[in-house]
Every structure is written in structure tokens, then in C-alpha cells.
Structure 1
Amino acid sequence: MAQVEQRTAGGSEDTMQREQREAARKASSTSAQATREDSSDASDVSGMSDEEERYVPDSDGSSTGSSVGPCQRFGRGRKTEKEESSGSEESSSAEKSTRRPRSYKKQYCLYCQKPYVKIARHLQFVHKKEPEVAEAFGCKKNSNERKRILNLLRNRGNFVHNTLVAQSRTGTVVARKQPRTQRASDDFLHCMHCKGLFLRTCLWKHVRKCQHRPRGGQAAPGGKCRVQALAAFCNPVPFHVGRDIWKIACEMKHDEITRAVKADRSILLFGEHLQRKMSSYAGKKDYIRQKMRELGRLLLEVRRSAGPETLEALMAPRHFPQLVAAVRAVAGYREDTNSFRSPSLALNLGSSLSKICGLAEGGAGGAGGAEAARSFRRLYCSRWSQSVSAAALATLSQTRWTKPLPLPFVDDVKLLHAYLDMQHGMHKSALEAEPSADNFANLCKTTLTQIILFNRRGTGELSRMPLASFVSRDVSQAPSPTKLAAVCKHFRRIELRGKGRRRFQVLLTAHMESALNLLVEKRGACRIAEQNQHLFARPGALTPYRGMECLRQYAKECGAKHPDSLSCPKLRKQIATLSTVLNLEEKELDQLATFLGPNIQVHRQFYRLPEGTVQLAKISNMLLAMEEKTLPRYQGCSLDQIESQGVKTTQKKRKWEEGEVSAVERHLMTFIQTFTVPGKQDCLKCVQSEPALKCRDWTAVKFYVKNRISAMKKQLCLHC
């Protein structure tokens, strides 16, 4: 009885398996027929893998189409009965019971913007008159060139569709490959060359082997972050953002701060405001990126504390305490000492928030946003100073007072000069013998450092020196006075545009000028892009070398004892402080300050160190002279000419001028002729009677007469 039941069960299982095989055979037959109908077109796009033909996420990140879960792979073609019967019965029944009909991925046409499964056949029969389509189908069938052109047309059509989806925030986007796990649309980026949509983390692998990458000799950009920054600009530009500011935002390092910046409308509008304001400033992009990233850090800190998601929503009076707490957290506020770790960051954030509030008041956020911004402005003006600014300014002032300000040692500066001269000659000879990117870079960095060290100018201004300014320099010798003619013929002067639209000059020596001429001559042979119009250009890039990094590198390599002191600001402070020893006039100080960059007020306030030694040596003499009641004697004298009897100085002796000698001889000539040293009263009477002796005291007059008498006695002894 048990055996009969077992056979009956086995028979029912066999019947079920035969029905499943028959259903699978019919589905395979239908799939094979469809494959044969489009065999020619499928071969043209055979470069697509199964993963490439799967669908992708929505652009808005919603659950309906914005993300896709893992999918199964299904093979193509029809299996024979022998192949179907082979294998384990359990595995075949499990596979066929879960098998679903294949869903073909649709590609969007570049010309009519409609989705098609067989995009190659559609292009061949509907758009055959288009030049690119005609070029593709003019190639040999199944050739690599034909596949390359068709893949590019497919990617471009999908790119146009993805752009429309991103702008309208509805629909689904189409990518080349679909991940096995669920992903959002923000995880995808378009290739900057072929316009295909790839996973952000895998894009750098595709770029290195992309068939449409230019082969002009430039190496493929390496690194995930660098490739993502270049490809981010290929993504569709939001309709409420300008293209220029979007490009600046896309050039930032791609991290959570950049994502917060690009997703916030207020930060992007603030960047546009800065861009319009600084349209003529050469380094505006770096400054704008810095300000936008500061606001991005603030927004992320607010989100961590369960605050508003946007900066516009944060600009409300009820969120003011939360905003103050976020600024303090970002700037490193220490409540026990009421100080900031980064006081400048706190002040910069306050200034940026004030400007954003002003933009919102002007109607950037609508009527409701303007009213909320005005309310926030009143609260900001009344409470921001006591909440943030006062402590930040106190910390900044305290740091400036307690921070040591050492000047560069003269030995270190001489060592750096000698090392740069040696490197200059070596790299110049190497570039003349063998033009290469490495030799060009070495000579470029060495010459840039020499110019910075010689002129004591800011590193950023000299690094961004335009090529046209050097090429169009005036090589003719300008007429100059006789005393300066010999000096002027050894230098060349270049005028550049600095900060605040001020004009400043750069002096070049003969060996600097010859090195720059060689760099300009070898630009083409050393892979310098034509678009790079900087004099100190990087090979294979569009940016110049940074003078600060070059100066820091050679300061460490030269073997200086204190390489940290060989920085541009400290070198500028050195020349500004040493200028006090020269006792320059106001006009001469103004010329020096103009050459160094700032005006005379900035020069005195920021670039001079505290004059402790000067105060101790000069002003103390004046105070001691007041105590000794001898100050009226020095009427009309400078601080250098005041001497005190209470302090023994080792100043260098000053030569007696002809007017002073004549004044002494008019009153004390009888003492000299009789070989008698005058007394104090006679010397004081002489000093008070002669204006030429106002800078001499009575002891100087007495010892002058004594020295004259001693010299005359020596001469008499020699004659005897």
C-alpha cells in the first residue's frame, strides 16, 4: 500500500516537471525568435553587458524608481532538450519555477527623445540622414568603430534625458550599469568624455580606459576625488543656479561638505554674489570655495543637532540659539576660558551670515523669506556680538600678543640664497640639454622662489603672474639720473595688478630674466597646455605652481637652522623692521611700502615687529636725559643723536664736519695753540654759542680739543 502511494506521488511529480519543461521551452522559443529578428542590431551594441542593460535610479532619490535592488541575470537563446534534461533535477526545477520573462532596458534617442529597446535599428531606419548616424552605419558591420559611435550616440541620448529629469525632478534616469545593491541617484556621475552614467566610486576606472578620452598626450586624471570633481560638472546644472558658480562648486573635493553646499540654494546664491563682486580678482575661485565650504561645515553641524536642513530655514529668529551653538561648535569654543580655537572662522561665519541675510532681504528667498530675514537681522545686530564676536576678537587679540614673532636669521637667508643659486644653474643647464616636464618644473619652481625671496612680495600674486605680462615687458632702458644709471641697467621691472586693483612692480635680475626666457621658449616641448596662460605653469595642468609650497620646500632642503622662519610674511616683516634702523623719511617709507604691497599705515601696523630693542636703546636715553636735566641741550636733535651720561654706549664715533670744526676753532683756538685743555664752562659756552654744535655735548668738544693738542705734540716730536 505504501509503495502504491509512493508511485502515485512520484507520477504526479513527473507530470509537474514535464509541464514546467514545456512552459520553459515555449518561453525560450519566444525569446530566441525575438533575438533572431534583431540579430544585426544587437550585434552593433554588443558592447553592453547584462549589467549595463538594467535600469537605474530616479534623480530625486524617491523610492519609486530612484533606487533599484539587486536583479538576477538571465541568459539568452534557446536550450535543446538534451541540455534541459542534463543536471540535477532539484536545481533545474528550482531555477525554472522562479524564472521570469526578460525585461529589456530602453535607451533614449538623441534626436527625438523617445525610449526604444532596439536603439540601433531605430537610428538606422529613422535618423539615417543624420551625419553621425550615417558615419556609424558607413563603417563595417561588427567593427569596433561602428560600436564606438553607436555607444556614444546612446550615451548622449541618455544624457539629454537625464538632464531633463534632473531639472524637472520627475521620472527615471538611465545609466550604463546597475549596481547589485540599492543606490540613490546621487551615487551616479556622468563621464566627462562619453557622457555615460556610472557609479561615482567606479567612475575613475572607466575614465582610465574610456574610448572617447582625448589622446593629446595628457595623462588621465588619477584618484577618485579628482575624477569625481572633473565629472561633477558634466551633471545637469540646476535651474536656479548659474553655470559659473556651479562649476566652482563642482571643482571642490567631493565629500559631505561639498554635497551640502551643492544641495543648499542659499549657499550657492551667496557664491554667485561673491563671484559678481570679485569678477576682476585673479584668485576669486579659491576664496569663493573657501567661503562656501565654511557655510557647508556650519550646515552639517546644524543637521547633526537635529536642526533645519537648509540655511534659508535656519535664518529664523527661533533658530538663533541653535545657530550660535553650531558656530561655536565649528570654531571650537571653550566655555571655561571663553575663547575659540579658531577665532577667525567664527568671525568669517558671522560676516557670511550677515551677507546672506542681506541677500534674503533683497528678495532672493521670496516675500516670506525677506520678512524672516529682516527679523533675523535685528536679532543678529543686537545679540551676535555678545554671543560670538566679542569672545572671538578677544581670543584673536590675545593670540597676537602672546605669539612669538621671530625674524629670519641672516645666516639662514644667505644659506637659502646660495642653495637657490646652485639649483638654478643646475636645472637651467638640464633644461637646455634635455627639454622635459621634470626639468621644466624644477627650473620653474627655483626661479619662482628666487623672485619671491628677492622682491619680498606675496606668494599668491607672483605665482599667478600672467605670461603676457612678462612677454610684453618694456626691455628698453628708461632715462635715469647719473647715480642710478649703473644700477638700473642690471634689472628689469614688470608691472602687475595686485589686490584691490592696485598696481605693483616686480624686479628681475639678469639671471632671473634669462631663466624666464628659457621657460617661455620650452613651453611647447614640455607639455604646457595652450590654455594655461600663467608664467609659472604646471606641465599637464591649467594651474600655476604655488610659491608658498616652493619656498617651504627649498627652505627645508637648504639646511637652514630655522626653516619655519623663512616664510614670505616673516621675510616681509624683516625688511619692514630693519627699515626703522635706516631712519628713512616719510616719502622714502611710502616708496618702500608701495613696493612691498600695502600702504604706509598697513606697513607700520602689521609688517613691523614690536620695536623692543629700539625702545630700549633710544627712548631710554631720552628719559635718562630728562632725569639729568640735559634734554634742552638736544633741541632739534633726533633720537639717534641723544646720549645720556648715565648709560655708557658703544656707538660708532661720528666724524666732525667742517662747520663744527670752524665753530670750535672760533672759540677755543687759543687753548689749542697754548696746548691747554679747556674746562667745562668754556666748552659749554662754545656749544651754546654755536648752532652748528647743537648735536654735540661739552665732553665731545673737550675731547676734540684734547685730541688736536695730542696730534700737534706728536708732530713736534717727530720734527725734533
Structure 2
Amino acid sequence: MQCLKKEYSYNNWKGLMSVILISLQLFNRRRAGEMDRAKIEDYLKYERLKDDYEMLGCMSAEEKKRQKGYIRFLSRGKRCRGVPVMVNREKFEGIQMILKFRKQTNISERNPYLFGLPGKDDFNHLLATRLLNQYSKLCGAKKPHTLCGTELRKHIATKCGTMNLGGVELKDVADYLGHNENIHLDHYRSSATKDIVRMSNILECAQGSINESLDEIGERYSISENSCNGIFEESKNEDNFNIPTSDLCHDVISSNDILSRRSATQLKAYVANCIEKRKQSLKSDQHTKVQRKHWGSAERNAVLTLFQDEMKNKKLPSLKRCEEVLKENSIFEGRTPIMLKAFFNNTKKKKHDK
């Protein structure tokens, strides 16, 4: 980029554009088509983090500086959905330089793509799949075939799985990756503020750009952690279930050879999962089974006698009428008006079928 600032060169210009395209795809874990077909029109509608956002007061000066350097724009994804793309300050400056030299590169004015190329075709552009395949071999990776869009998207999903995220945070990540088929229903929740504040940290951590664990990020954003006074003992009282702290997990791992290969984050997530299963089990045990009472012959005869007019006119009795019959006849003890009405309806249908 420095060379391009001094003097324009097509090779330098194309090289810069190629690096930015792949960098954005790797960082955002986007599908190839979502990145290489990003349009200038969409990019120019980018948004920044607002200064009056309330969460800024809870951040350190370093966090504020880092997150204010991001912009966010929506590119076109599958089924014409808008998928967010995060761009840091360095990449933003690079894109601005790319756009600056578009006319000098003789790109058609009808070419709508941000990473467009000159040529006979007005819609010519860089192909992220080819570039990623090329760079994966040049970077010296031991298994270059694993550096592809699908595997990278699985990677971020796996990383986030160790964070013990709550329902809202987990849905935010799924929406950002485009894994939710109903993402358009949550248009307002997929805001620029949320993406910049939450996703910039998660994406940077997954890439290894910042020295912060995914667990620490998860704890900072609405992941409550109750105190734990002992080793992970399940209580019969649902209200006493506690998620262990990271320090306690470290202590347990250090004192237990079986868990030596596990991280504190993995152990905490496993215990949280066990607690959730135990809670669900307790809830299901609390539901009493409904005992069905068989309708005896005496009850059947009473129904046919008391509801002769209704049976003759082929009409259902009202619930008020059923309630009156129940009060006047002790033979229906334990029955409700709804049960009596349903039994009458079934009896009427059987009689009609005959």
C-alpha cells in the first residue's frame, strides 16, 4: 500500500485488492461469493460505532480505540440476505485507495463490484476461491487444503462453542455467520453496534490478533457466573445449581490427571451442559401423569338418557348444560364439563356410523 501511495502501478493495485479481499474473507468467515461480489453501492453505506452507545462506558480505553476503528457494511448473501462485513481501519484505508485508482485502471463504470477488474466483461471481478487456494499454498501451511471457506466457518463455530454463550449471544454469532434461515426476521437485532462491539472481539480472538481468551470475552458479555463453594456436586434443588468459576476449573484440572488434557473453558462448558440437563430432568419429573378414567356402562347409559334431546337433534350440549348434569348426578364424579361433552360427541359419532 505504501508503494501505491508513492506511484500507481497496476500490479501493486491488484495485489493490494487481492490481499484485502482474502483478509476480509478470513476475518469475517464469509462465503467466497459474499465477499468477491460485494458491491460498491453497499460498501458506501457503511456504518460506524456511535459515540453515544451506552456500552462504551464499560470498556477500557484500548477497547474503545480498537472498536472505533471498525466499520460495518452489508453485502448480498444467499437468498438475497444482507450479511454483515467488518472492516478495520487498515483495510478501510486500503479499500479507499483501491476505489481512488479505479478510473486510472480503466474499469467500466457499469462494473458494480468493489473488487472489480478491467476487461471486456463489464462484470469482471476477483475470485476469492482461486485467491484463497493460491495463498494457502504460498503461505507454507502444512495442510493447505483445509484453508477453505467452509472449514474456516466451521472453525469459528467450534471456537464459539467453547465460550458457554447464552441464548442471545449464541444467536448473534449464528446470525452473523448466516447459519440462521430466518435471519431476516431479526433485522433490527443484527445492528451495526452489536456486530462492532461483540463480533470484532470474537473474530479477532479466533484469528489470534488479540491476547484475550474466548472465555474472557464470553464472561464480559452477559454470561453470569455464580459462586461455587465445592467440587461439582449436583443438588436436588434446582435453585442451588452453580456454574464453576474458571479458577475452580483450573484447580480441579491441576489436581486431577484424568482432566489434564482439558482446558478450564472446556470443563466449565461441560459442567454447564450437565447442569442444564439435570434441570430439564427435574422439570420433567415434576409433571404428574394424567390418569385416564374408563367410562363405565352406567355412565354411558346415563349420558344416553340425560341427553336424549341432543342426541335426537344431533347437536352437542353446551358446557353450561354439561355442568348442570354433573351437579345433579353423582355418577359422573371426577368428570369435567369438557370431558362429558367430548364423551357425548364420541358416542354420537359411533351411533351415527352404525
TM-score by length of 2: 0.50
Larger Rg: 1
Could you say which structure has the greater relative contact order, defined with CA pairs below 8 angstroms and 6 or more residues apart? 2
TM-score by length of 1: 0.26
